[in-house]
């Protein structure tokens, strides 16, 4: 199953994987949060686990602040900062409900968390302390940072665009252009737009500029669907990760497939082999040479036995990630 360009990480988490994130400046380190209440740091090159730290409850997301500090949050409502050099924990603060997303915005130098308590909180990573709580209309399911803008996807298919430099008001309120629950939002590295996926095998490419001309370019397409016994099985699209150089992106679905898309030519660049179970999270390394793939059952079909959870590291080539002929 795993060829020369791909391998499985050793010492994977003991329960489902919630997020994988590459270190910002090196493709050597990968942060992994899991339902087993741990956050683990892997040395991808050496294929070993460097360290792990514990939360009180399952961890839903994690992010690097800088190469030595990891932030994470989950069902225990706590936001933790962990110093990866000294292995020291700091509880930065809490939400009133589980923390679903943790992101870092380098432009404004602020950590952002989104929670099921219907709020987004900003955190000053230096102090570290809370730097504001911003009520959202619904539970936060996903968020992404595009330059100094924050795109928040909530329950009820709402999408809110905030200006991180001026959080006094919501810059744009949108409704997802997809008919089903929003699953994941990731901003283009070029900061011009974002990609939004839903639980119903569909992905939308959207632009932030509200002008008519730009909005004309938005579109959506179906993916992560399999025909079985004459019935089309439609899977959630759980994960999106952008290639920082080419602005192409990978999507991972509960069908176990990873696709790489060229959003400019509206073409699929490639599809990898089918992974044992749902793709829960994806992360391109900063230089775009590696893709971390978390194959982890997400209970789409209930609490049943399933293939073991695993993280795969795949070397990707330009042929797989670069837009063709443009």
Residues 69-98 touching another protein, rule: CB under 8 A, are: 75-78, 81, 86-94, 96, 98
- Shortest Cβ distance from residue 209 to another protein (Å)? 8
Among 21, 40, 149, 186, binds another protein (CB under 8 A): 149
The whole-angstrom separation of Cα 150 and Cα 167 is: 10
CB of 221 to another protein, least distance (A): 8
Q: How far is the CB of 52 from another protein (least distance, A)?
A: 7
CA–chain centroid gap for 172, Å, is: 22
Paired tokens of 107: 């432009």
Min dist CB 294 to another protein, Å, is 14
Q: Is 165 in the site for another protein (CB under 8 A)?
A: yes
Q: Is 293 in the site for another protein (CB under 8 A)?
A: no
In the list 12, 13, 189, 236, the residue contacting another protein (rule: CB under 8 A) is 236
Q: How far is the CB of 51 from another protein (least distance, A)?
A: 8
Compute the distance between CA of residue 93 and CA of residue 117 in angstroms, rounded to an integer.
14
Cβ closer to another protein: 26 or 88?
88
Size of the site for another protein (CB under 8 A): 104
Instruction: Report how far Cα 242 is from the mean position of its chain's Cα atoms.
Output: 10
Q: Which of 11, 47, 68, 301 binds another protein (CB under 8 A)?
A: 301
Residue 168, interface with another protein (CB under 8 A)?
Answer: yes
Per-residue contact string for residues 31-70; x = within reach of another protein by CB under 8 A: ----x-x-------------xxxxxxxx-x----------
Residue 143 binds another protein, judged by CB under 8 A: no
Binding another protein by CB under 8 A: which of 24, 28, 50, 131?
131
The region of 6-14, 104-112, 257-265, 310-318 touching another protein under the rule CB under 8 A is 104-112
b/e per residue, 224-252, with b = 16+ CB within 10 A? beeeeeeeeebbbbbbbbbbbebbbbbbb
Residue with tokens 């959207």: 206
| Contacts of range 125-133, beta carbons closer than 8 Å, 24 or more positions apart | 125/65, 125/69, 125/71, 125/81, 128/81, 128/90, 128/92, 129/92, 129/93, 130/92, 130/93, 132/167
Cα–Cα distance for residue pair 107/291, rounded to 1 Å: 24
* 192-221 positions binding another protein, by CB under 8 A: 199-202, 204, 210-212, 215-221
Q: What is the full DSSP assignment across 217-249?
A: T-EEEE-SEEEETTEEEE--EEEEEE-TTT--E
């Amino acid at each position: 199953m795993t060829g020369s360009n791909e391998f499985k990480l050793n010492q994977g988490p003991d329960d489902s994987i919630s997020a994988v994130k590459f270190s910002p400046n090196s493709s050597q380190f990968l942060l992994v949060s899991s339902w087993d209440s741990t956050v683990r740091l892997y040395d991808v090159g050496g294929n070993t686990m460097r360290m792990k730290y514990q939360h009180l409850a399952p961890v839903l997301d994690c992010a690097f602040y800088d190469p030595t500090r990891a932030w994470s949050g989950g069902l225990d409502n706590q936001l933790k900062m962990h110093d990866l050099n000294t292995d020291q924990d700091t509880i930065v603060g809490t939400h009133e409900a589980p923390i679903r997303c943790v992101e870092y915005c380098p432009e404004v130098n602020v950590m952002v968390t989104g929670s099921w308590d219907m709020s987004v909180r900003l955190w000053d990573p230096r102090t570290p302390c809370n730097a504001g709580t911003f009520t959202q209309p619904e539970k936060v399911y996903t968020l992404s940072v595009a330059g100094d803008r924050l795109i928040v996807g909530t329950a009820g298919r709402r999408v809110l665009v905030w200006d991180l430099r001026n959080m006094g008001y919501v810059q744009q309120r949108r409704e997802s252009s997809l008919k089903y629950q929003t699953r994941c939002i990731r901003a283009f590295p070029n900061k011009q737009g974002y990609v939004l996926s839903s639980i119903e095998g569909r992905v939308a490419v959207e632009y932030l500029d509200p002008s008519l001309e730009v909005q004309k370019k938005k579109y959506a397409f179906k993916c992560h669907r399999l025909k079985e016994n004459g019935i089309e099985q439609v899977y959630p699209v759980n994960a999106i990760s952008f290639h920082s150089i080419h602005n192409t992106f990978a999507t991972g679905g509960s069908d176990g497939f990873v696709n790489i898309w060229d959003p400019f030519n509206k073409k699929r660049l490639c599809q990898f082999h089918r992974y044992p179970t749902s793709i829960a999270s994806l992360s391109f390394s900063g230089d775009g040479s590696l893709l971390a793939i978390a194959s982890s059952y997400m209970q789409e079909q209930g609490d049943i036995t399933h293939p073991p959870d695993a993280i795969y590291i795949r070397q990707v080539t330009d042929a797989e990630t670069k837009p063709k002929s443009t």
